[in-house]
């Protein structure tokens, strides 16, 4: 009998990622600066988990010793984060020794790249506080697995409880989605960048910045308004990187992750505000870093002008 024929729950576009603190120090990870993780998934879900989908991190019973907890109190069972799926499932090993308590969990297995959208470590939604009803039964009392599909109703309610309105309004791409750039994926990509910008302006080394400073750095009324602004930028740029001119790739189909959409501040000393933003390829944003936009564009132009000479030199070396 095939794995797919014995599924306990039918797949959806929303997921619950189970976390055992005894194996992975989730509180230490969420207190740090990292925002992406290659997370272990159930093998039977590998064909259904897609980039652009959404999920919650459900932490189970914390049975760690005081030493493993580093003197911190035990985590209560509940929901500690909301995540975006940003990478398709693949067999991969991790070397997360800094946060792992069991070397076996780092072995090669099916994993999906997740990006933290909402950090609930300081304000978890406890399992005991979840609403009653069938939609929440498997979240309150999950069976042993790495990933479990949840309903849109349950995900929306959890977003409301976490005061994250932008996520509760999103419709995640269907698990049967194929490659191609539909408008829904454009929306997901824009919202992902908006939330990243919002979180960047809220946190410095994992610490919450005072509201007055945060509002100054995040120059939009809401994450939704920034997402709309980003969609306008992508349309204005004809779907191409503002600096390199390379066609941008969206969260549904990342043939080359380095071409993934990335929000860049034109003036790196400026804020996330109208007139100071552009959408570029991920590698361009990384290469540019904190450089002057004018100077970086000058260097890119020099590379283009000297491309024929570079090609000739490569041929000569061969």
pLDDT of residue 318: 60
pTM of the model: 0.66
DSSP 13: S
Span(s) in the chain for CATH 3.10.590.10: 1-177
State the CATH architecture for 1-177: Roll (3.10)
What's the pLDDT at 177?
39
Q: How far apart are CA 194 and CA 230, in angstroms?
A: 8
User: Which residues does 177 contact at the CB level (< 8 Å), separation at least 6?
Assistant: 50, 52, 185, 252
Residue pointed to by tokens 């960047």: 200
Alpha-carbon dihedral angle through residues 276, 34, 41, 123, given to the nearest 10 degrees: -90
Q: Which position has the token pair 């306990």? A: 8
What distances in angstroms separate CA 196 from CA 35, 115, 119, one per listed residue?
Answer: 9, 9, 11
Residues 6+ apart with CB under 8 A from 86: 36, 51, 113, 114, 115, 192, 251, 254, 260
- Using CA atoms, how far apart are residues 77 and 18, in angstroms rounded to an integer? 11
Question: What pLDDT is attached to residue 189?
Answer: 79
Per-block average pLDDT, block size 10, for the chain (318 residues)?
54 92 92 87 91 91 91 94 89 82 82 89 93 90 89 89 68 46 64 78 51 58 86 94 93 74 92 95 94 95 82 64
Residue with tokens 């539909």: 182
Distance CA 91, CA 13 (A): 21
Cα(69)–Cα(61) distance, integer angstroms: 13
Instruction: Give the contacts of 52 (CB within 8 A, at least 6 positions apart).
Output: 84, 85, 172, 173, 177, 185, 188, 189, 250, 251, 252
SS3 content of the chain, % helix, strand, coil (to 5): 35, 20, 40
Per-residue pLDDT of 81-97, as tens digits, reads 999 888 889 999 887 66
């Amino acid at each position: 009998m095939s794995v797919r024929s014995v599924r306990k729950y039918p797949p959806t576009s929303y997921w619950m990622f189970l976390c055992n603190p005894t194996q992975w120090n989730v509180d230490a990870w969420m207190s740090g600066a990292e925002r992406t993780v290659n997370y272990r998934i159930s093998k039977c879900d590998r064909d259904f988990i897609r980039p652009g989908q959404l999920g919650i991190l459900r932490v189970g019973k914390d049975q760690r010793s005081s030493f493993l907890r580093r003197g911190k109190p035990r985590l209560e069972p509940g929901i500690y984060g909301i995540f975006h799926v940003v990478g398709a499932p693949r067999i991969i090993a991790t070397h997360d020794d800094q946060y792992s308590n069991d070397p076996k969990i780092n072995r090669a297995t099916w994993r999906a790249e997740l990006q933290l959208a909402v950090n609930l470590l300081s304000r978890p939604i406890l399992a005991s506080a979840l609403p009653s009803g069938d939609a929440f039964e498997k979240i309150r009392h999950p069976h042993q697995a790495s990933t479990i599909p949840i309903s849109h109703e349950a995900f929306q309610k959890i977003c409301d409880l976490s005061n994250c309105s932008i996520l509760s309004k999103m419709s995640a791409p269907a698990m049967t989605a194929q490659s191609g750039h539909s408008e829904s994926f454009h929306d997901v990509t824009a919202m992902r960048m908006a939330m990243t910008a919002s979180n960047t302006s809220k946190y410095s080394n994992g610490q919450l910045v005072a509201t007055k400073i945060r509002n100054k750095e995040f120059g939009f009324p809401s994450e939704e308004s920034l997402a709309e602004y980003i969609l306008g930028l992508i349309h204005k740029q004809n779907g191409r990187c503002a600096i390199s001119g390379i066609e941008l790739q969206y969260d549904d189909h990342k043939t080359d992750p380095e071409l993934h959409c990335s929000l860049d501040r034109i003036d790196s000393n400026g804020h996330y505000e109208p007139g100071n933003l552009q959408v570029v390829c991920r590698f361009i944003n990384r290469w540019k870093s904190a450089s002057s936009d004018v100077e970086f564009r000058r260097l890119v132009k020099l590379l283009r002008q000297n491309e024929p000479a570079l090609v000739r030199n490569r041929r000569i070396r061969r």
